[in-house]
Structure 1
Amino acid sequence: MDNREIVFVEPWKVEITSKRIDARMEAHQVLVKKIYTMVSPGTELACLSGMESWFNMPGVPGYASVSEIVEVGSEVTDYKVGDVVFHYGKHSRYEFTTTDGVFLKVPEGLELKRVPFTRMATIALTAIRVSEIELGDLVSVTGQGIVGNMAAQLAALQGAEVIGLDLANERLLTAKECGIKHCVNAGTEEPKDRIMNISNGKGVNTAIDATGVPKVAIDSLSWIGKFGEIILLGTPRGTYNTDVTEVLRSSHLFEKGCINFKGAHEWRYPVAPDTFVKHSLLRNSTIVFQLLMNESLIVDPLISHIIPYEKAPEAYEGLRNNKDLYNGVLFKW
């Protein structure tokens, strides 16, 4: 069987390769054929840059997939040929995988192009899980890419009034389509002034940073109210020099806000349900399925491109150099 893969050959070089699948499937595995795979812009561009030590080149990236099972191993009893599943699959036409981890049947009636967004939504949901967001709170979310947009939507579902911030008008327009009440262009407006106006001078209760840009997180400390919190949703990357004493004082001193700093990396929770832990990736995924089914979580405006996998090189070029127009990219297999 011939397989097609999207390969990061070297920094900023993407190729489509053909690879013969000669390996025999093991008894506990299934063979899936991809329907859609989704690009995670932040993580995959970081890998493509060559700056992520855990990703080895040449390598096949991939983050989220909806696939059809085409063969099952002799020990697999919960799945059958023809089942459509969501899993953390790579950008390839076929893939041998186990049913361990996040591997779930897609609910009947859930539109397949929406399914890969489950991964991005569960990443965003981590920020809500670790936060103290309550009904009536004011929340800012810096960065209105896919994950930031979903974090903003989920904060609103938690009962908060949400302010979305970004430098791109296109992303802010998308945020409005997704129901975000306040949208602020941080390039043409002063974020602190606008937020203080919205909050009547009190600041936000929770600031979620989805950009991963250290300066953005530090700047947001200025608009967090007393006893508020900052949630680091985007993985901080790059070098940024500042006075760390002032940063620490914002947490320590009352007059500086007594702000709590919290990390929200998705892997802080176990994959499978655990007796001693309330949340898990599987539980979060099934909750997101329901939100997508009843359209409480809106994703269609986030889909900027559905393109054949053969055009992957131009897609990554667009994601790198035309970020305002390339946001949610699905590869069709």
Structure 2
Amino acid sequence: MDNRKITFTAPWQVELSEEKLADDGPLGRNEVLLKKHYTLISPGTELACLSGNESWFAMPGTPGYSAVSEIVRKGPDVEGFELGDFVFHYGNHSALERTSVEGVFLKVPEGISLPWVPFARMATVAFTAIRVSNIELGDSVAVTGLGLIGNMASQLAGLQGAKVIGVDLSGKRREIAMLCGVNHVLDGTGDHLANEVMGLTSGDGVSALIEATGVPQVAINGLPWIGKFGELILLGSPRGALDANVTEVLNYSHLFDRGCITFKGAHEWRYPVMPTPFNKHSLTRNSQVVFELMGQRRLNIEPLISHVLSPEDAPSAYEGLRFNKDNYQGILFKWC
């Protein structure tokens, strides 16, 4: 059986290739064969992979980790799913995929538009920042970086009851954030930010700063915005070298007059895939909650979709993400 897939062949080199589907034989007892309908680019992770600087991603390789697919074959022990069901799973950018139904593998609820489904992965990544935080009704929260992850973290913080202040360099991303219901958006350029944040919080600062860019300097620049006993939540994976005075940074946590700030990591894999007796939260449960919010129209997805492209357009999609970030954000590949 022929399969198409997007391949990173070398740093900054993207191709659409065709090959025989691996192990095109009888399915395992808990396996399914999936026909992809939409896959979503994760801009930060995939551009990092495409740069050649992610040690865990080997080239040539197929990127991607969020898909909505149709079950076209299933193994004899697969229960709860039927042929023709649409499912959300952590699938790559390929037309077909053979995979186990274990892990995050969920039937798409009725009433959810198929192009929205892959955004559930971005939302569950963002959910981690809310899960680890102490955000309560009436708190003020700043989010630096209003790409897919930061936008969804902003929306979820608002649903938690916070007044949200979104910060980004891009006017387009700020505009999209407002369409998604973010209370306040600020231009990330210039030296005015601390004063603006303090003005919006009556001089108290924010109770939580969610850093979604992954740029270490952005996290450091935001420390003065955080109020007493507040928290800095690292949602974006920090990348790149930075020369800084680490003593100055640590004193924001250590000294009372610097706020006694708590630093927290919010990587999605801190939670188990499935619920356990010892973990209230899991990736599966977070995904189910996201689908409920989508179905209730409380999590806004449509403004985040900038392009629905053919897989043949993959090279231009990644070029757009690199060099035209204002206009390329939520990029879906439509496979059939």
TM-score by length of 2: 0.98
CA displacement 1:124-177 (0-9 Å, x = unmatched): 000000000000000000000000000000000000000000000000000000
Structure 1 position 79, deviation (Å): 1.4
Report the RMSD for the aligned CA atoms in angstroms. Answer: 0.8
Q: Which residue, 27, 36, 47 being the options, matches 2:49? A: 47
**1:3 matched to which residue of 2?**
3
CA distance in 1, matches of 2:247, 2:21: 56
CA distance in 2, matches of 1:163, 1:189: 16
Residue 54 of structure 1 aligns with an amino acid whose one-letter code is W
**2:299 matched to which residue of 1?**
297
**1:112 matched to which residue of 2?**
114
Secondary structure of the 1:255 match is helix
Deviating 4+ runs (over 6 angstroms): none
**1:200 matched to which residue of 2?**
202
Counterparts of residues 1-333 of structure 1 (less than 5 Å):
1-21=1-21, 23=23, 24=25, 25-188=27-190, 190-333=192-335
- State the percentage of identical aligned residues: 59
Structure 1 position 188, deviation (Å): 4.8
Residue 78 of structure 1 aligns with an amino acid whose one-letter code is G
CA distance in 2, matches of 1:108, 1:292: 11
CA displacement 1:87-139 (0-9 Å, x = unmatched): 00000000000001100000011111111010000000000000000000000
CA distance in 1, matches of 2:147, 2:322: 13
TM-score by length of 1: 0.99
CA distance in 1, matches of 2:151, 2:164: 11
Structure 1 position 77, deviation (Å): 2.1
Tell me which moved more, 14-23 or 301-310: 14-23
Secondary structure of the 1:51 match is coil
Pairs aligned (count): 333
Structure 1 position 22, deviation (Å): 5.5
Residue 19 of structure 2 aligns with an amino acid whose one-letter code is K
Distance 1:201 1:22, change over 3 A: closer
CA distance in 1, matches of 2:287, 2:234: 21
Structure 1 position 199, deviation (Å): 1.0
CA distance in 2, matches of 1:177, 1:12: 33
CA displacement 1:42-65 (0-9 Å, x = unmatched): 000000000000000000011100
Residue 317 of structure 1 aligns with an amino acid whose one-letter code is E
CA displacement 1:251-305 (0-9 Å, x = unmatched): 0110110000000000000000101111000000000000001110001101000
Structure 1 position 27, deviation (Å): 2.3
Residue 8 of structure 2 aligns with an amino acid whose one-letter code is F
CA distance in 2, matches of 1:69, 1:259: 48
Tell me which moved more, 184-193 or 59-68: 184-193
CA distance in 1, matches of 2:172, 2:125: 22
